[in-house]
Chain A
Amino acid sequence: MAEVEKNKSEEHQFEEEEPRIGVYACHCGSNIASVLPPAEVAKYAEGLPGVVVAKDHHYMCSEPGQRMIQEDIKKYNLNRVVVSACTVAMHEPTFRSCISDVGLNPFMFEMANIREHDSWVHSHEKEAALLKAKELTAAAVNKVSYARPLDMFKVPVTKRALIIGGGIAGISAALDLADMKIETYLVEKTPSIGGRMAQLDKTFPTMDCSICIEAPKMVDVGKNPYIHLLTYAEVREVDGYIGNFKVKVEQKPRYVDADSCTGCGLCVDVCPITVPNEFEDGMGPRKAIYVPMDQAVPVIHTIDMDACIKCYKCVEACGDLSAIDFAQEPEIIELDVGAIIVATGYDTWDPTPLEEYGFGEFENMMTMMEIERLHCAGGPTVGEFIRPSDGKIPASLALIQCVGSRDKRYNEYCSGFCCMYTIKNALLLKWLYPEMDITIFYIDLRTPGKTYEEFYERAREAGVHFIKGRPSEVLEDPVTKNLIVHAENATLGTHVALEVEMVGLATAAIPSAGAADLGRVLTVANDGHGWFLESHPKLKPLDTPTEGIYLAGSAQGPKDIPQCVSQGSGAAGRASRVLMADEWEIDPIVAYVWPDRCLNAKGGKCTICYDVCPYGAVINKPGSGEPSRIIPAKCHGCGTCVAECPANAITQHHFTDGQVIAQIHSLLADNPEGKVLAFTCRWCSGMGADNAGTAHFEYPANTRIIMVMCAGRVDPDFVMEAFRLGAGAVLVSGCHPQDCHYISGRQHAGDRMERVAKQLTRLGISPERFRVESVSATEGAKWARIMKEMSGTLDELTIDKIKEENALAHPKLARRLNRLRQVPGVAPVLRLSEEMRLQGLEGGGA
């Protein structure tokens, strides 16, 4: 375990210091200012308790904006800062480093999101949007008032990397890391590295032989002393955190001893079993003992046990080498690494469901990968392009684009590289067989990229026909086995029925099989289509939201070869930042146990915190009289134990009960019955709400968001307190349980909130006023829909009915919540808030 400096903040007897807060409202050009005047937000903030100075600026994140904050900190002796601008995902790090540059602790900072959560989604309700901005700012001010300085943890870094996936992206990353003398494990699930690129014949637009340019790199990987190849192996478990991952890799049994096998191939010659070769897309044969291709790295044979009949002829053929070992078992290899690069690539979509094209039914209907293998000199026909029904070279060929991509029924995204590889195949065949009549059916031709458009031009010059129009159906002539492609020529508006001897389908690229499972193992989210989700689509395309895990190549979305190579190198660069450092700083937003409050300290036998912790970060000794303790470096800061603790003995730095309750009070100070209060996690739902903003999915402005790290942090008391204050409706939203960034946080939240829902119903709160949802980072539309629905609920129930229900439930809620006052840090918040309310009443009366 990493030795971690004792954190100052753990001494919960901190010096009380009068808050001196600076509030800064951002115009974000016109992004915020066009809907609500930030100057008014600043003016309003000036009147908030603890605020010394409040200003607005066109771009707070710009150099002058940041300088303004820094100068004010010095001038007004500020000790806390609030910026009302955009999402924390975007600029929280910016402003934290801005204030720490002038000596303020970076955690004495809070952001109110008045862009994604406000101006971008409430452009139709300008008045209400301004009110929301004011309240969000007030909540941030209230929260930051109770902020404590925290120090970053420093953890040591294991100077080794793991790369998952041995395609061209993984190979590029591995070679770059090896050049930096970083020990790298390259895990590949098939028997050889090379990936999709090894299957291709030529590469566009240069028409280089694909395997000829990749094979040298594969060989380099094979012999590089810094790279350890683990082929025919899969990652099963990943534990730990940036700089210190513990990984379990399963080495599947090859039944051939990797060290003794020379790759001579004598065993292959004698093997009597022939099965379709996956590498040839099932078109060529391989034996039960095989290497997938001639250029395989490593050249170690593998026995396919599903096909093997155990005739042991291979053992005989192997002779004195005796490399064949039928007794091999799956083996778990444990690795310690500091960073992980995910480069799992893509698969091609199986077009069988698209019945109108008859794939699988018509012999001469092929996928583009099959066509690729058919004209490849290393392919099953040694480069002879023949059609399956009669072995003749087809005189005519139709290539159909967007098969299963740009199609809402299957994959709605554009796979990106299909236009280019279709043109490439057409051009290649035109070179090989100038007489062949080739027609490409397309919706839109997309050829962005250096010299790609010129490549398209070459195909036109070579006589390839292009018809704009997605074929509606393909029929087969049962006698000749020719195919008739029906389409509308959209340019002319005429119907086309083109008889060709062979058809190729440019099928969509889909995430490789197992990407979803790997996502769960890594706790890295996959987007709605299954691609790995990057931390920020523009500025952090290679990072995942989990620090220390990076993405390269098609794992993140379909990419062509140059992009994969650049991303491989890029991810290696991102990983090396960590791996070249001696130690790495991690967030101190962890849980902390007040020893005197823990039930175990009083001789109790409580294991709740230990049971719910997904990371094993709790040292729990029930019955020993010793309080539970949390290992900060192991704690990921989800806060599930904090919410679960029956004695309220655990808190989470930066998200203390007091701070969250302060936010609740600020947001519900005015007209609580008319509001929807949403608790979201920071990853899926928080980002989903941001996504709604980015996409400008409008929803009603009577909604308020409180962000915590995980839905698991949402204490039942928070929900109760919201209802006690009269909230119209409350939402708790996290990730989809299987995508939870804290493994099981969302699951525990779900179980807990189910109980809360029952309790609330018993108290007479209408069930539709409390909801628990899962929204992923890409489901902005769903977020907006939920917000609309919940806001609609308030209208349906009417304010009077809500008030009536609240009045009925209030005494019981108040009694239950009395114990909240015992929690350290909560009482002052409540006291202050109640005083303010009384003052407000007096003010109203005067």
Chain B
Amino acid sequence: MDNTLNPFLLEVMEKPGGDKVQQCIQCATCSGSCPVIEEMEYGPRRIMYLIQSGAEEQVLSSRDMWYCVSCYSCTSRCPREIPIAELMASLRELAVEKGYAEDKESQFGQAFTETYQHHGRLFEPELMLRYYLRSWDIKGLLGMVPLALPMLLKDKLPFWPERIENPAVMTAMRQDEEPGEAHSSKKRSSWWGWLIGALLALGGALVGALLWLVELSLEEEL
């Protein structure tokens, strides 16, 4: 059977959760179920239709898949059994692959992956460091300090990362990379990152502490 489907649809159909996109009958259960529909540009129902009609640019440059909170309401209620939440993840991937997504959006995901691959658990300070350092956004990083410091003091953020026995297991779960190779290359790059990160964190902590103290003393004066 010669396929007369548009190339974008075919591309999406290859991705996890994409094989049933053509089944969508626009019943609107998904958009009706979506808790963040107000934030979305189109909502899942219209995203399905846009994919079916091959509107690659509209879909991949929209913000909808980035706003999806993966609550799976749409997926569990879809009468055509389309795994919409999974599909949203695939769209995020596609958007990055094809250069539609701004760096910021995908950077966070990548920093996140690297962090958990490093320890096997999420370690928020490292995640923030990695995220802001990727884009050399020192201002943004320092901006986080007033938030982080009180959290640290209230024991809402850990000082030290929690490690699992063998973090390489997490790497192996990423199918697109060869586990061994990824592991060794990461070691080298992550070491430098850590050093700079630690220094900056220290500096940031100092600045933050100062600011906080100043604030406290000001309050006392009042």
Answer yes or no: are A and B bound together in one complex.
Answer: yes
Given contacts A488-B43, A488-B45, contact A406 B28 (CB under 8 A): no
Q: A413 vs B38: C-alpha distance in the bound complex, in angstroms?
A: 33
A359 to chain B, nearest CB (A): 15
Q: Which residues of B contact A672 (CB under 8 A)?
A: none
Any A CB within 8 A of the CB of B26: yes
Any B CB within 8 A of the CB of A123: yes
A350 to chain B, nearest CB (A): 17
B26 with A490: CB separation less than 8 A: yes
Any B CB within 8 A of the CB of A696: yes
Any A CB within 8 A of the CB of B1: yes
B32 with A443: CB separation less than 8 A: no
Chain B residues touching A, range: 20 to 34
A352 to chain B, nearest CB (A): 16
B45 with A472: CB separation less than 8 A: no
Any B CB within 8 A of the CB of A815: no
Residues A442-467 near B (CB distance < 8 A): 443-444
B37 with A488: CB separation less than 8 A: yes
Q: Which residues of B contact A124 (CB under 8 A)?
A: 1
Q: A473 vs B71: C-alpha distance in the bound complex, in angstroms?
A: 15
A341 to chain B, nearest CB (A): 34
Any B CB within 8 A of the CB of A845: no
With CB as the reference atom, state the residue of chain B lying closest to A406: B79
Given contacts A402-B27, A471-B29, contact A408 B81 (CB under 8 A): yes
A470 with B27: CB separation less than 8 A: yes
Any A CB within 8 A of the CB of B73: yes
B45 with A490: CB separation less than 8 A: yes
Q: Which of B32, B46, B81 contacts A487 (CB 8 A)?
A: B32
A488 with B1: CB separation less than 8 A: no
With CB as the reference atom, state the residue of chain A lying closest to B76: A356
Q: A496 vs B29: C-alpha distance in the bound complex, in angstroms?
A: 12
B80 with A408: CB separation less than 8 A: yes
Residues A375-411 near B (CB distance < 8 A): 402, 406-409
Q: Which of A408, A468, A472 contacts B73 (CB 8 A)?
A: A472
With CB as the reference atom, state the residue of chain B lying closest to A491: B28
Residues B27-76 near A (CB distance < 8 A): 27-33, 37-38, 42-43, 45-46, 73
Q: Which of A444, A470, A696 has the most CB of B within 10 A?
A: A470
B32 with A471: CB separation less than 8 A: yes
Q: Which residues of A contact B73 (CB under 8 A)?
A: 472
Q: Which residues of A contact B28 (CB under 8 A)?
A: 443, 468-470, 472, 487-490
Q: Which of A406, A407, A473, A488 contacts B31 (CB 8 A)?
A: A488
Any B CB within 8 A of the CB of A486: yes
Q: A356 vs B76: C-alpha distance in the bound complex, in angstroms?
A: 10
Tell me how many residues of A have a C-beta within 8 Å of chain B. 26
Any B CB within 8 A of the CB of A755: no
Given contacts A402-B27, A444-B25, contact A470 B79 (CB under 8 A): yes
Any B CB within 8 A of the CB of A698: yes
Q: A496 vs B77: C-alpha distance in the bound complex, in angstroms?
A: 17
A162 to chain B, nearest CB (A): 39
With CB as the reference atom, state the residue of chain A lying closest to B49: A490
Q: Which of B27, B37, B42, B77 contacts A469 (CB 8 A)?
A: B27
Residues B182-203 near A (CB distance < 8 A): none
Given contacts A470-B27, A488-B37, contact A493 B1 (CB under 8 A): no
Any B CB within 8 A of the CB of A495: yes
One digit per residue, 1 when the CB lies within 8 angstroms of any chain A CB and 0 when it does not, for chain B 7-31 equals 0000000000000000101111111
Given contacts A470-B29, A472-B73, contact A407 B79 (CB under 8 A): yes
A408 with B79: CB separation less than 8 A: yes
A699 to chain B, nearest CB (A): 12
Q: Which residues of B contact A489 (CB under 8 A)?
A: 28
Q: Which residues of B contact A493 (CB under 8 A)?
A: 31, 42-43, 46
Q: A406 vs B73: C-alpha distance in the bound complex, in angstroms?
A: 19
Residues B145-201 near A (CB distance < 8 A): none
Q: Which residues of A contact B38 (CB under 8 A)?
A: 495
Given contacts A443-B26, A443-B27, A488-B28, contact A472 B33 (CB under 8 A): yes
Q: A408 vs B81: C-alpha distance in the bound complex, in angstroms?
A: 6
Q: Which residues of A contact B45 (CB under 8 A)?
A: 488, 490
Q: Which of A409, A495, A696 contacts B32 (CB 8 A)?
A: A495
Q: A390 vs B79: C-alpha distance in the bound complex, in angstroms?
A: 33
One digit per residue, 1 when the CB lies within 8 angstroms of any chain B CB and 0 when it does not, for chain A 465-485 equals 000111111000000000000
Q: A698 vs B1: C-alpha distance in the bound complex, in angstroms?
A: 8
Q: A473 vs B28: C-alpha distance in the bound complex, in angstroms?
A: 12
Q: Which residues of B contact A490 (CB under 8 A)?
A: 26-28, 31, 45
Q: Which residues of A contact B27 (CB under 8 A)?
A: 402, 406, 443, 469-470, 490
Q: A402 vs B80: C-alpha distance in the bound complex, in angstroms?
A: 12
Given contacts A356-B77, A408-B79, A698-B1, contact A486 B26 (CB under 8 A): no
Q: A240 vs B15: C-alpha distance in the bound complex, in angstroms?
A: 55
Q: Which residues of A contact B79 (CB under 8 A)?
A: 402, 406-409, 470
Given contacts A402-B27, A408-B80, contact A470 B1 (CB under 8 A): no
Q: A402 vs B27: C-alpha distance in the bound complex, in angstroms?
A: 10
A438 to chain B, nearest CB (A): 20
B45 to chain A, nearest CB (A): 6
A-B contact pairs, 9 of them (CB 8 A): A356-B77, A406-B79, A409-B81, A469-B27, A470-B32, A470-B79, A473-B33, A488-B43, A495-B32
Listed from nearest, the 5 A-B pairs whose CB atoms lie closest are A472-B32, A407-B79, A472-B33, A470-B27, A469-B28
Sample of 13 further A-B pairs with CB below 8 A, known A408-B81, A409-B81, A470-B27: A402-B79, A406-B25, A408-B23, A443-B26, A443-B27, A470-B32, A470-B79, A472-B30, A472-B73, A486-B33, A487-B32, A489-B28, A493-B43
